Amino acid sequence: MTGDPLQEAIERAEVLLRETRELLGTEHPQTLSAMLDVAEALWAQGRLIAARKLEEEVVAGRCRLLGAGNADTLKAVGKLAVTMAAQGELAAARELQEEVVAGMRALDGETGRDTLRAVNNLAGTVAAQGDLAEARDMLHSVIAAIVREHGEQHPDCLAAMGNLAGILWQEGDHAEAYELQRQVVELHRRVDAGDPSAQTAAAILEMMERDSGF
């Protein structure tokens, strides 16, 4: 063991992938899922090039096995698009994410969980392209739908609220952004204060406090 938790996570995921590939074959659904687990671990370490290569293999494999319109294929495309956006390929990422949103709507409905997650991801790319107003409107609709279906403490709702707070901050509406981020932190604390997402939300709130003196 290296003593580095992120590297250890990668090594564990890679061992499981090798074992699954040897037992079930390269394009078995479980093998492809194990490849995504490795990609996620690589992503956490900032190794986006390596993660993207695996994500592209999974997308190709699931397209062959399941078809382009399958929910698992669309989820893999969504992960790939997020990686592409993080690498600065915003236009290509947005195009893929719009395809994922359309596909998920056909499968899961307008307010299905996978649809709303896809819209949330798309909003992040739209914001990165500079269209903050459109991204803000998208997130408002996502939050409203999740609250109706699952309640405000649902993890997807908290993620969308945090994203919206970030956009409001970028637009210069620091007071509203701070209040929304404060709500996110409070809701996280009610659910699980020790969750990494809760810690990240608290760190963002502290940054807002430092920068604007709230």
Burial pattern 165-202, b for ≥16 Cβ within 10 A else e, equals bbbbbeeeeeeebbebbbbbbebbeeeeeeeeebeebb
- Return all residues near 106 (Cβ < 8 A) that are at least 6 apart: 69
| Residue at a domain's end among 28, 45, 67 | 67
**Residue 127 is part of a domain; what is its CATH number?**
1.25.40.10
| Residue at a domain's end among 67, 84, 105 | 67
Written as tens digits, the pLDDT of the chain (214 aa) is 557 888 898 999 999 999 999 999 998 999 999 999 999 999 999 999 999 999 999 999 999 999 999 999 999 999 999 999 999 999 999 999 999 999 999 999 999 999 999 999 999 999 999 999 999 999 999 999 999 989 999 999 999 999 999 999 999 999 999 999 999 999 999 888 678 889 999 999 999 998 876 6
89 and 28 in one domain?
Answer: no
180 and 168 in one domain?
Answer: yes
39 and 75 in one domain?
Answer: no
Give the pLDDT score at 194: 78
DSSP 47: -
C-alpha pair distances (Å), 148 with each of 117, 124, 144, 213: 15, 22, 6, 34
156 and 145 in one domain?
Answer: no
Give the pLDDT score at 192: 80
38 and 61 in one domain?
Answer: yes
144 and 113 in one domain?
Answer: yes
141 and 80 in one domain?
Answer: yes
145 and 109 in one domain?
Answer: yes
Q: Which domain holds residue 78?
A: 71-149
23 and 50 in one domain?
Answer: yes
121 and 160 in one domain?
Answer: no
| Residue at a domain's end among 108, 133, 149 | 149
143 and 83 in one domain?
Answer: yes
Question: How many distinct structural domains can be found in the chain?
Answer: 3
184 and 163 in one domain?
Answer: yes
